[in-house]
Amino acid sequence: MGQSKPFRATALIVEDDPMQREMLCLLLEESDVDVIECESAEAAELVLERAGGSLVLMMTDVQLAGHMSGVELAHIARKYNPDLGLIVTSGRPLREELPDGAKFWEKPWAPLDVIREAERAAHARGIDDGAEPRPRP
């Protein structure tokens, strides 16, 4: 009988700047977090439709390729997964209201903060011990 792999936390990174996206993905992957990356909010919405319940964290820029902003995406993400850790980031002041529980990080942010937030989100879902996530009520 084959051994099952331990369940790992999964983060969705939505960033249209390829270098920023690559850096975030590498940072999280080095911290044992699986990553799904998207360039636009529209692509990320498709991921949320299919796998939103399995994600522990979504980090998105405000300004994205396509027609939807990261703030709009955060509101959509909250509907798919009420427990999802949400970080919206921008180099400019935020002028739109975020969904409840979402965090705004002004750029530049510290890479260690990203790792800590992913760990916090995984712990909140009971994934930090390699076990299956706790079911949502």
Using CA atoms, how far apart are residues 29 and 73, in angstroms rounded to an integer?
23
- How many folded domains does the chain comprise? 1
Specify whether the CB–CB gap between 35 and 11 falls below 8 A.
yes
Classify residue 3: in a domain, yes or no.
no
pLDDT digits (tens, 9 = 90+) for 24-59: 999 999 999 999 999 999 999 999 999 988 999 999
Classify residue 136: in a domain, yes or no.
no
Q: What is the pLDDT of residue 133?
A: 47
Specify whether the CB–CB gap between 58 and 12 falls below 8 A.
yes
Q: What is the pLDDT of residue 7?
A: 66
Q: What is the pLDDT of residue 111?
A: 92
The list of the chain residues with pLDDT below 50 reads: 1, 4, 129-137
Classify residue 51: in a domain, yes or no.
yes
Q: What is the pLDDT of residue 137?
A: 43
Domain CATH for 87: 3.40.50.2300
Q: What is the pLDDT of residue 8?
A: 83
Q: What tokens were used for 27?
A: 């940072």
Closest C-alpha among 11, 28, 36, 29 to residue 115: 28
Classify residue 132: in a domain, yes or no.
no
Classify residue 133: in a domain, yes or no.
no
Q: What is the pLDDT of residue 124?
A: 86
Q: What is the pLDDT of residue 55?
A: 95
Phi, psi values for residue 89, rounded to 5°: -130, 150
Classify residue 4: in a domain, yes or no.
no
Q: Which domain holds residue 102?
A: 10-124
Classify residue 27: in a domain, yes or no.
yes
List the end-to-end C-alpha distance of the chain, in Å, as a whole number.
Answer: 32
Whole-structure pTM value? 0.87
Cis check for the bond before 108: say yes or no (omega within 30 of 0): yes
Classify residue 134: in a domain, yes or no.
no
Using CA atoms, how far apart are residues 24 and 41, in angstroms rounded to an integer?
17
